Structure 1
């Protein structure tokens, strides 16, 4: 391996390499004063994300002990079947939609057998189903009480009933459900083959995020799916900070604007809720793809209006 220096690399890029691939240090250091060696340091260290460490056979004992402790802790308030293990757990809510529509908060537990939304105090299982009862699972967005677009999960069971969930990391939970059960994506199942081919575009991108006290550029990854959804996420975020649905996209422009990259241009994306600015490599390709999406969207709108 040869050391490289990428002027476009950011701290999130370093964290992503550290978590996904890892770094091994093999260091012999001698500290001298007036050419007299005083201190010797012999360092052998491996630094990586915990999932990467376990994948390569390291920290297995810690992993086994942690899993056993989690199982004992959960069994105190969440009844578990023999051989049932928790795959993922996160803050979540279940939509109760009978005589009143209300999101009931708790935690989602995806186990090897079930999908459960449970709360500890007062102890109550808000909703649960066996994985083999799930017919399809898909995501959708809707405005929250505060007006912010939130990603929700729609779970359709074989008996025809539908459950709607909201989770802290809904993308990850949906992926894990499909992996555990190998269920289709409901109305999106017909495009599964296209999804397997990956997104239309993905790459390093800076996002100009606006706060009350000003704006700041943040480094992360942008993705343009085959359905036309544009997302941006920092490695430090639990979920995408930016999600632009195809219906929200109005226009895209290349304009001159200061940014952390060596390029003088940024991508200005006009949406139904405002403007977004992105900077990074391959801006012309991003611009072309998004421009094609806006053109096709306008054609669809024009046809609908002429009927």
Structure 2
């Protein structure tokens, strides 16, 4: 076996393989000095992300013990029913709109029975609702003070009221809540189908983003996804999308010669109202044609658009190294 090297493969690519697919090592190693074998190593090891290990039936006892420990720790400050289990927890907040308007930070909890915004110290439940009282849950895009678009969570209740929540991973929390609602409805609700029709993915794949720093410009590798409503790009190190563009924001787009980490010598130049975004991919031509149709609304007439280059999205990964070289 001769070693091979892909110059575009970076440390985050290796970490992605280890976390999502895993590696099994089965080797015998002999260390010799002057042709005299001195040390023998017999190694059998499996290395993978925790989610992958559990999926293949490994470390399940550790998973059960950890879940039980978390449940006991949370119950010390958050009252839970005897049969209530925590499904997800992340930093979050609730927008209070009564005699004064303000965000009240805490943690967002999704349990088998409720959606809760709770503060640990001092212990206080800022907002909560039973899952069976939720009529709808959707993403709410709003600009921040610095001009960056943030994603909030709009929760509509059966009594006609609404609540606005924040979360560290809003899209993930929305999908988890929606999955619980679908499960309660037996998968017969029409609301999830409508949401899927609006936000269905059209294309996704590996893409590089040219980030401008004070010391120069650096290509960063990540994942791009195009849906009916927005184009997003996110690196493995980003908590939320670094690039988020709607069709209305994309004013112009063209391709130009630009050195980049891919085999395609051209880069995509996207012009919005207040910025210029440079992206690179191995199939810039295909992306360019689809983005042009997407911007002009030509994709709206297509009933079904196949998802291209499927990849498994990142979820709560550890810190990953910066990639790309300054250009």
TM-score by length of 1: 0.89
List aligned pairs for 1:147-162, cutoff 5 A. 147-162=147-162
The superposition leaves residues 222-267 of structure 1 with CA deviations (integer Å, 9 ceiling, x where unpaired) of 000133x100112232322211122211111101112112222111
Structure-1 separation of matches of 2:4 and 2:117: 47
Give CA deviations for 1:163-192 in whole Å, capped at 9, x if unaligned.
Answer: 111111111111111112228796x85352
Gaps in structure 1 of 5+ consecutive residues: 298-307
Contact 1:171/1:239 (8 A) holds in 2: no
Aligned length: 292
**Which residue in the other structure is 1:206 paired with?**
208
Deviations 1:270-300 (A, max 9, x none): 1123011111111111111111233339xxx
The CA RMSD measured in Å over matched residues stands at 2.1
**Mapping of 1:100-119 within 5 angstroms?**
100-119=100-119
1:222·1:232 contact (CA, 8 Å) conserved in 2?
yes
CA–CA distance in 2 between the matches of 1:98 and 1:276? 40
Check whether the contact 1:231–1:242 (CA below 8 A) recurs between aligned residues.
yes
1:255–1:266 CA contact under 8 A, matched in 2: yes
Equivalent in the alignment of 2:321: none
1:14 Cα offset (Å): 2.2
Which residues of 2 match residues 266-305 of structure 1 at below 5 A? 266-296=267-297
TM-score, with structure 2 as normaliser: 0.84
Q: Structure 1 residues 198-207 or 237-246, which shifts more?
A: 237-246
Structure 2 CA distance, aligned partners of 1:165 and 1:172? Answer: 13
2:196 is equivalent to residue 192 of structure 1: yes
Q: Which consecutive unaligned segments of at least 5 residues does structure 2 have?
A: 299-327
Q: CA shift at 1:64, angstroms? A: 1.1
Distance in 2 separating the partners of 1:174 and 1:110: 10
For 1:141 and 1:14, the matched residues in 2 are separated by 34
Superposition pairs for residues 60-99 of structure 1, below 5 Å?
60-99=60-99
Q: Secondary structure at 1:259's aligned position in 2?
A: coil
Partner of residue 28, structure 2: 28
* Post-superposition offset of 1:152: 0.7
Instruction: Give distance in 1, aligned partners of 2:121 and 2:279.
Output: 43
Q: Is the 8 A contact 2:264 2:284 kept in 1?
A: no
Residue 53 of structure 1: aligned partner: 53
Q: Secondary structure of 2:251's match?
A: strand
Residue 306 of structure 2: aligned partner? none
Partners of 2:10 and 2:102 lie apart in 1 by 42
**2:219 equivalent to 1:217:** yes
Give SS of 2:51's match: helix
Higher relative contact order (CA 8 A, sep 6+): 2
Cα deviations by residue, 1:11-57 (Å, 9 ceiling, x for unpaired) = 32222221111111111111111111111111111111101111111
Instruction: Report the Cα distance in structure 1 between the residues aligned to 2:166 and 2:35, rounded to whole angstroms.
Output: 64
Paired residue secondary structure (1:200): strand
Contact 2:270 2:278 in 1 (8 A): yes
CA contact (8 A) 1:248 1:273 kept: no
